[in-house]
Amino acid sequence: MRCLVTGSKGMLGTELREFLRRQNEEVVGWDLPQHDVTDVEKTINGIHQVGPEVIFHLASRTDVDGCEDDVAGATSVNFQGTWAVALGAEELRCKLLYVSTDYVFDGRSDRPYRKGDVTNPLSVYGKTKLMGENAVAKTCRHHFIARTSWLYGKHGRNFVDTIRKKSSEIPRIDVVSDQVGSPTYARDLCRPLWELARSKHFGTYHLTNSGQCSWFELAQEIVKLTGAKCEVVPIDTATAVRRAPRPAYSVLDNREFRHRFGKELRPWQEALRSYITGNDEGRMSSVE
């Protein structure tokens, strides 16, 4: 399978590119500065030149707070760039897999979000990623939209590495305890994305490691696993000074993938332990 991966140097892009090559897939990677997906004509022409069977569109502005200060830039990448990729995919009649986010929801649910639940993003990041979803759904017939959350891995800045570093340097860390989600290991995400892309089960899916926790509980687990002598103190969102609003509850229900493929991503605690100890081969579990 000839694959085009946009955002191929990012946290997920690097893992996915390496994973696909281990599966003996043919992989072409796009990233800045050589490939700017916001250049619509160049992007469409480039897709025709590559001739992929599937495009994994990961290129995105993911700095949630930074997007608040650069609405035009976030819109350009997350919407216009995605639209350009979708146009190229449709012209070539290839599959398109777009990775989206839990931040398309407002966090007011009292249960894990299902794919058909009403979206209502609170932040510029969430709004522009939803615009990207809509562009994909309206433009490219053979598409997958895969929403994930709280991503971490070794190829980019992330919460897990931030806590590891801080907890080794200072005696106390204040962490928000009233935001709940599902931490997801980038390496664990690669296989389900690949299985989706090999299928013809088009549509929207939620893909996260199993289970849920608050940022505070995640930080506690990181400190415990690393053996750091650091106190983790819970604070509420109002106390934390952040530019962009976050959903209080953004746990995603993975039922579509679970029912369709009979598999689910392993519990977040197990994935986190693998990442921190270096025994980090991503895997899924079969559903009984």
Give the phi and the psi of residue 8 in degrees, each rounded to 5. -75, -10
Question: Nearest CA to 235 among 282, 173, 152, 283?
Answer: 173
Provide the 10 A C-beta neighbour count for residue 46.
Answer: 20
Strand 172-176 to 263-265 pairing? unpaired
Instruction: Give residues with Cβ within 8 angstroms of 117, minimum separation 6.
Output: 105, 109
Please tell me the predicted confidence (pLDDT) of residue 226.
Answer: 94
Burial class (CB in 10 A: 0-12, 13-18, 19+), 96: buried
- Specify the pTM: 0.94
Please tell me the predicted confidence (pLDDT) of residue 284.
Answer: 58
Strand 54-57 to 231-235 pairing? unpaired
Active-site residue identified among 98, 103, 125, 152: 125
Please tell me the predicted confidence (pLDDT) of residue 241.
Answer: 78
pLDDT tens column, 210-234: 999 999 999 999 999 999 999 999 9
Tokens 């940022």 found at: 215
CA distance 272 to 184: 8
Instruction: Give residues with Cβ within 8 angstroms of 197, minimum separation 6.
Output: 1, 3, 54, 56, 95, 97, 144
Whether 205 is catalytic is no
Question: Nearest CA to 147 among 110, 119, 175?
Answer: 119
Question: Nearest CA to 275 among 239, 234, 221, 236?
Answer: 221
CATH number of the domain located at residue range(s) 2-158+183-212+250-267 in this protein: 3.40.50.720
Digit-by-digit pLDDT tens for the chain (288 residues) are: 999 999 999 999 999 999 999 999 999 999 999 999 999 999 999 999 999 999 999 999 999 999 999 999 999 999 999 999 999 999 999 999 999 999 999 999 999 999 999 999 999 999 999 999 999 999 999 999 999 999 999 999 999 999 999 999 999 999 999 999 999 999 999 999 999 999 999 999 999 999 999 999 999 999 999 999 999 999 999 888 788 999 999 999 999 999 999 999 999 999 999 999 987 665 655 554
Please tell me the predicted confidence (pLDDT) of residue 238.
Answer: 86
